Amino acid sequence: MWAGVVYGTLLERHADHILLSGGAQIFLLLEDAVRCDFRVGTYLKVTYTEIDGRKLARGISQSDSFHALNAPP
């Protein structure tokens, strides 16, 4: 199991996953009540856990590009 953070513009929103700019596909954990109510085009910060190559969302929040560009690696 691996955890991380990804920043990106919300390109698509589906019931079970979201797609961010840069191609990141993040799956929503419906049983953990992780939802994405943001509009397409919103810049997001997504924390996730990766299991078997699938990124599973743990938290989704709106962000701005300044924080993303200056975030530590």
**What local confidence, expressed as pLDDT, does residue 29 receive?**
80
Give the CATH number of the domain where residue 54 resides: 2.40.50.320
**What local confidence, expressed as pLDDT, does residue 13 receive?**
95
Which class for 45: exposed (0-12), middle (13-18), buried (19 or more C-beta within 10 A)? middle
Reduced to 3 states (helix: H, G, I; strand: E, B; else coil), residue 22 is: helix
pTM over 0.95: no
Question: Is residue 62's pLDDT more than 90?
Answer: yes
pLDDT tens per residue, range 9-60: 999 999 899 999 989 999 998 666 788 999 999 999 999 999 888 999 999 9
Number of domains in the chain: 1
Residue 24's domain comprises 2-69
- What one-character-per-residue DSSP string does 29-65 give? -GGGT----PPTT-EEEEEEEEETTEEEEEEEEE--H
Q: How many CA atoms lie within 13 A of 9 on its CB side?
A: 6
Question: Is residue 73's pLDDT more than 60?
Answer: no
